[in-house]
Amino acid sequence: MVLRVDGFGVTWTVESRDPVAVEETGPDPASPPMLVVTGATSAVSLTVPRDRDEWPACVAFLLRLREGVDDLAALLAARVADPDGRDGNGDGGGC
């Protein structure tokens, strides 16, 4: 994983070996789990709100995030299958 801060914000370039895990933050129900992606030099954690009343909106966000990840994976798979048919700037990087 490579993290870069630029005018866009933080850009995270993933690598195929970056582990992804859901981690418990504690045994108490007030300590919700988090999604953690770790790389060689850094980690990214996606935490949920402590207020359970906000969890339905968080669930909706996570489902949208999953859809976006699925869309990105499908686009990358299509470009691997047909490298000459890809669009974009072809700057490489990433997995």
Taking only the tens place, the pLDDT of each residue in 66-92 is 999 999 999 999 999 998 875 554 555
The pLDDT value recorded for residue 19 is 85
The verdict on 81 and 61 lying in the same domain is yes
pLDDT band at 51 (very low <50, low <70, confident <90, very high): confident
Phi, psi (deg, nearest 5) at residue 3:
-105, 135
Structural domains of the chain, count: 2
Q: Residue 93 falls within a domain, yes or no? A: no
Q: Residue 81 falls within a domain, yes or no? A: yes
The verdict on 12 and 33 lying in the same domain is yes
The verdict on 29 and 40 lying in the same domain is yes
Name, in order, each residue with C-beta under 8 angstroms of 50's C-beta and a sequence gap of 6 or more: 30, 32
The verdict on 13 and 40 lying in the same domain is yes
The verdict on 2 and 40 lying in the same domain is yes
Domain range spanning residue 63?
Answer: 49-85
Q: What pTM value is reported for the model?
A: 0.71
The pLDDT value recorded for residue 87 is 57
